[in-house]
Structure 1
Amino acid sequence: MPPPTIIPPMIILQANQLSHSFGASDLFEDVSVLLHAKERVGLVGPNGIGKTTLLLILAGLLEPTAGSVSRQENLTLGYLRQEAVLTFAGQDNTVNEEMLSVFADLRGQEARLRELEAKMEAGEMGEAVLEEYGRIQTLYEHGGGYEYQNDIKRVLQGLGFEPDQWDMPLEHLSGGQKTRILLGRLLLEKPDLLILDEPTNHLDTSAIEWLEKTLRTWEGSLLIVSHDRYFLDRVVNQVWAMNQHGVKSYKGNYSTYVQQRDVEWQHEETLFANEMARLEAELEF
């Protein structure tokens, strides 16, 4: 077995010469990309070009026909599919319980702190009890134990869930609501790389504005597919333009990308016109 690929620290994901086919039909080929820490990337391209397929490959959920993907060691990754119905199949959690599941470690620490407090109230003030209490309290505080309940409320309200919906079972939610719940859970998990496939599809204007504000201050990296150019303008700082023969990277938001692309097209048209003029001149000569 060959040794694992070593990735420079600032590069969290690297794809080399990816190709993917369905039977005899080539979807795309020769896709190579680099994703650095804290980059917020918008992936754009024609419908049917394979953007969702590329996201699945980069997330490690689908094997490419050819090429390779390397990820930074211990990289945490969250992926929002366009539809999240299957994500919650068979689960009987409520909306709030699903959000609380993100913080299972903190809730376990809470329970242990209550147990230790009960011991101390009963007069068990031994050194071991005090040391364990201090250690767990420090972990709890540094892990956000005093903030996570407010974080859950902020995310649910931001994504348009009213307080009277928080105790609803997930099985009673629509497909769009389940997608919003999955998005909320991913935002609370705070992965190093968050991949979002059409995140605004089931959001109203207020929720979209809240999501834009949240993602602009995201501490990790983002990779987003969206047909909402205004959303991309407000969130991303880099654009990957995809066609059947590869991906080209542009610095800046969506509008900046369009300007750069139009300049390139104009340059290509000028070169083509000059070449045609040269050939015509040679023929006349």
Structure 2
Amino acid sequence: MAHLLGAEALHLEFPTRIVFDSVTLGVNEGDRIGIVGRNGDGKSSLLAMLAGRLQPDGGRVTVRGGVTMGVLDQQDVLADDDTVGHAVVGDAPEHEWAGEARIRDVIAGLLSGLDWNARIGSLSGGQRRRVALARLLAGDWDVLALDEPTNHLDVESISWLAAHLKKRWPANAGGLLVVTHDRWFLDEVCTATWEVHDRIVEPFEGGYAAYILQRVERDRQAAAIEQRRQNLARKELAWLRRGAPARTSKPKFRIDAANELIADVPEIRNRVALQSLAVSRLGKDVVDLLDAGVAYGDREIIRDVEWRIAPGERTGILGVNGAGKSTLLGLVSGTVEPTSGRVKRGTTVKVATLTQRMDELDPHLDDPVRVVISGLRTSYTFGAGSKASELTPGQLLERMGFSSAQLSTPVKDLSGGQKRRLQLLLVLLDQPNVLILDEPTNDLDTDMLAAMEDLLDEWAGTLLVVSHDRYFLERVTDQQYAILDRRLRHLPGGVDEYLRLRAAQDDAPSAPAPSAPAAAAGLSGAELRAAQKELAAAERKLEKLAADIATVHDRMAAHDQSDYAGLGALTAEIRALEEQTAALEERWLELSEQIG
């Protein structure tokens, strides 16, 4: 494969530390490289040096003649007084850019619903990020360097971006470098992983799952190196193998080696013990939303929500921005009152919410971390049954990656990721029994996300999560719901089902559909009962199809990976089941509209 760019003996240092020391690496045609590492270890600096944005203190970066490189920075560089359209296509006349299939795909994938003539200054952070991405992707580049491209994007936009990058170049053409903490994205897009740590860049084959396996092997050979990280990585590998068969249906590593590594790793959560403890803390009644709805004047946010939340339930909530996720969580926490229906709460319920704003830290900005923690309780119980343990605040801080030196740092001087971790600890240490996490993964690197997930695995209570980080959502929750058409819907097929339903919505005719009551009014009593019966049968069938797909994924994961014919047959079986699911979901939507 032809060489695109490379680095030779790179050396970079800041006044207080050396970031890189004699780093040599290269990017070839067809490379799709994910860059991971702890916050502050130099991921963005490496990307900036390779892109020519930052000059190294030693060594050099070479680029093959004629190679073009597009760069997406973390910082917002759009001009407030520019328009969406001009920011994306510049002064090019419409007949030119509209004739480019790539540009049409980018606009449809990222800018659907945005006013082409809107001023950049009037957009939200997520909308500005999409415009910045669209401007970059509309160009023709040999190499793309993306720094945290999924920040502020929702699940659908992230899924679209992954699909776009996978098909943007032919298999052995183009190059991609991406810094991201989104592990699903890394596994979906990347064929190689660079880990930045301890002044070096260490290459691994494959995406995130393969990287985790190889890192475990490396750490096992080193025996004593970073024992805590090793245990977390092995636990995460166990989840990747046992709990996410879709990821291992096309494995990039040997299944027998993975099984051997996790043979002595228990299930990530003792669900029975945790639920038992949750019942003892909460009783059988948590929060029931009974035909609940919220409207502000004539604007209906959510309606007809029937949701009985159980003790120990771990649920992820999906929905586009503005769908009503925050309103739904407000009904649960009590900060929003229903305008129809009612909300019933158990007498022992104590709800805590981890917000995106980090309000919990405001009273402590001038205090050292040690002082903040010392004002709380002296010990806390995590886990259940034989895994229950008493931890001091200092031990909890250590588990979340704080060093002893950082205990004396004032809160205001902590990095964004450190503040996020401290905020979570303050919320957990208040001992709630219902925990709501609203976009908790912001500012955290992959190792710290694993540490947070490990801590949540031992938390006995009801957990509700809103996150655009698909990996995190699937990792810490046992089931997912979505807000679609202002209603709450269970997703037996998880995030994949949600994306299919959203795609079906987007493909539906744009003409306004009749309101649900009006549609139902056209049915006779017998027709209505028949439609309700068919709807219930469709829901049962969808659950069975989801279980069948999971079973085939398990068979594929255990199958001899050298038997290409057998793997092809299993792939065809999965495809047929998914086609049945898609057809049934369309019928479910039709019936739902008829019944109202």
For the superposition of Structure 1 and Structure 2, which TM-score range results when normalised by the shorter chain? 0.5 to 0.7
Residue 49 (structure 1) shift:
0.3
2:360 pairs with 1:87 = yes
Distance of aligned partners of 1:237 and 1:90 in 2 relative to their CA distance in 1, 3 Å threshold = closer
Structure with the bigger RCO (C-alpha within 8 Å, sep 6+) is 1
Distance of aligned partners of 1:240 and 1:102 in 2 relative to their CA distance in 1, 3 Å threshold: farther
* RMSD of aligned Cα (Å): 3.2
2:322 maps to 1:48: yes
- The answer to whether the aligner puts 1:196 opposite 2:437 as a matched pair is yes
- 1:59-115 Cα shifts (integer Å, max 9, x gaps): 11222333322221121222101111x3333444332232333307x7xxxxxxxxx
1:244 lines up with 2:482 in the alignment: no
Q: 2-side partners of 1:63 and 1:87: how far apart? A: 23
Q: CA separation in 2, counterparts of 1:62 and 1:175?
A: 29
Which of 102, 106, 113 is the matching residue for 2:376?
102
CA distance in 2, matches of 1:75, 1:58: 10
Give the counterpart letter for 2:324 in structure 1. G
Q: Is the Cα–Cα contact under 8 Å of residues 289 and 343 in structure 2 kept in the other structure?
A: yes
Q: CA deviation at 1:202?
A: 2.1
Task: Give SS of 1:89's match.
Answer: helix
Which letter maps to 2:430?
Answer: E
Shift of the 9–184 alpha-carbon distance from structure 1 to 2, 3 Å rule, reads closer
Q: Distance in 2 between matches of 1:10 and 1:272?
A: 33
Deviations 1:25-75 (A, max 9, x none): 222222221110111100111221011222122111222333322221121
Task: Give me the whole-angstrom Cα distance separating, in 2, the residues matched to 1:147 and 1:268.
Answer: 47
Q: Which amino acid counterpart does residue 362 of structure 2 have in structure 1?
A: A
Structure 1 residues 248-273: Cα deviation after superposition (integer angstroms, max 9, x where no partner): 22458646877958665421446899
- The aligned counterpart of 2:398 is 157
Return closer, same or farther for 1:65/1:200 CA change in 2, 3 Å cut-off. same
Render the CA deviation track for 1:185-239: whole Å, top value 9, x for unaligned. 2233342111101111121100111122222332111000011111122211111
Q: Does 1:71 align with 2:345?
A: yes
Alignment check: 8 A CA contact 2:435 2:463 kept: yes
1:103 partner SS = coil
Partner secondary structure for residue 376 of structure 2: helix
Higher deviation after alignment, 203-212 or 166-175: 166-175
Unaligned stretches of 5+ in structure 2? Answer: 1-281, 380-388, 501-541, 547-577, 591-596
Q: Distance in 1 between matches of 2:449 and 2:405?
A: 21
User: Normalised by the size of structure 1, how large is the TM-score?
Assistant: 0.67
CA distance in structure 1 between the partners assigned to 2:437 and 2:588 by the alignment: 38
Equivalent residue, structure 1, for 2:183: none
Q: Which amino acid is the alignment partner of residue 36 of structure 1?
A: A
Question: 2:288 maps to what in 1?
Answer: 14
> Cα 1:89–1:185, aligned 2, differ >3 Å: closer, same or farther?
closer
C-alpha distance in structure 1 between counterparts of 2:477 and 2:357, whole Å? 22
Which segment drifts farther, 42-51 or 53-62? 53-62
1:160, CA displacement in angstroms?
Answer: 3.5
* Of 267, 270, 274, the match for 2:584: 267
Q: Which residue of 1 aligns with 2:466?
A: 225
Which amino acid is the alignment partner of residue 211 of structure 1?
Answer: M
Deviations 1:129-158 (A, max 9, x none): xxxxxxxxxxxxxxxxx9442xx2343234
Aligned residues of 1:83 and 1:179 also touching (Cα < 8 A): no
* Cα distance in structure 2, aligned partners of 1:255 and 1:214: 26
For the pair 1:235 / 2:508, whether they are aligned, the reply is no
2:453 corresponds in structure 1 to 212
Q: Quick check: 1:30 aligned with 2:304? A: yes
**TM-score, normalised relative to structure 2:** 0.34
CA contact (8 A) 1:233 1:255 kept: no
Look up the equivalent residue of 1:235 and give its one-letter code.
V
| Aligned residue identity for 2:487 | G
